[in-house]
Amino acid sequence: MAHRADLFVALQRVLPKHALSRLIAKAAESKIPWLKNALISRAISAFNINMAEASSDDLDDYENFNSFFTRALKDGVRPLHTAKNSIACPADGVISQAGPISKNRILQAKGIDYSVSRLLGSSAAAKQYEDGSFATIYLSPRDYHRVHIPLAGTLIHSRYVPGELFSVNDQTAQALPDLFARNERLVCEFESDQVGAFTVVFVGAMLVAGIETVWGGFEKPGPGAVRETDFTDQLLGFSKGDEIGRFKFGSTIIMLFQDQKIQWDSNIAPQKAVSMGEKIGSVKS
């Protein structure tokens, strides 16, 4: 298994990942009916996507593949845990890892950890999370791909960090050191009355056609400098469970909380399937 994972990573190293992802993005934006319906039908079959949950199961209601992939769900299929001290899961997916942040390091996979400073693209931002808590959620192509805020909070700052576009599945996570700190990502920093600062990181991946936020729309990808945006004067507040963004293919969300602020539920462990809105932890009193 390890040998296969190494081969998979080696193949990704030589692939033109950005060019391939942007090519896929163009096809995913096509509004040609036969093409976009063929892509949608193939995805439903290949990934066993549950269309009974979708707000519409009529392919003609989706103008392109991306609008299908970021589809809304029917009301009520993802009930939100509303208790004030609960932490709601921000997305559908599988827990990759969750636990304490130790000496500015986050666990990626067994025997592999990486730097919070590098993940966030800022040593000052990382310092807030010394000895804090994190959770990493992997969204597969079959999952609902909108991301919601786990606690009520106000957006303070965002930081786009250019990077690679390696796959973020479990096979790659176990074979490629610093995976999440290498890939393209959008760091979203929030302030909450309940826990103080917390951060949600959108991690890009191979074939991800883009990251969107509800406040800024499409986050233009590609190489270049880190992009910082200050939102402190805009009073962009969100209630727990509000949508904050979406992925245009499978990817990963990482949440960071400060020391002694939250506690994950005892069943939150690697490979546990989770759904948006369910309780995954609690704010410490």
Tokens for 188, please give them: 């979203």
Catalytic residues: 92, 148, 251
Query: What residue type is assigned to position 188 of the chain?
Result: C
Cα 115 to Cα 18: distance, rounded to the nearest angstrom: 24
Q: Where are the beta strands (DSSP E) in the chain?
A: 86-88, 93-100, 105-109, 112-115, 133-139, 146-148, 153-161, 185-192, 196-203, 211-213, 217-219, 227-230, 236-238, 243-247, 251-257, 262-264, 273-274, 279-283
Among 256, 251, 112, 97, smallest CA distance to 185 is for 251
CB distance 185 to 202 below 8 Å: yes
Residues near 22 by beta carbon (within 8 Å), at least 6 away in sequence: 221
H helices of 62-182, where?
65-69, 116-120, 123-127, 170-173, 179-182
CB distance 162 to 223 below 8 Å: yes
Query: What residue type is assigned to position 233 of the chain?
Result: D
Taking the CA atoms of 267, 269, 275 and 281 in sequence, report the sign of the dihedral they define: positive
- Cβ count near 216 (within 10 Å): 16
Tokens for 254, please give them: 């990482």
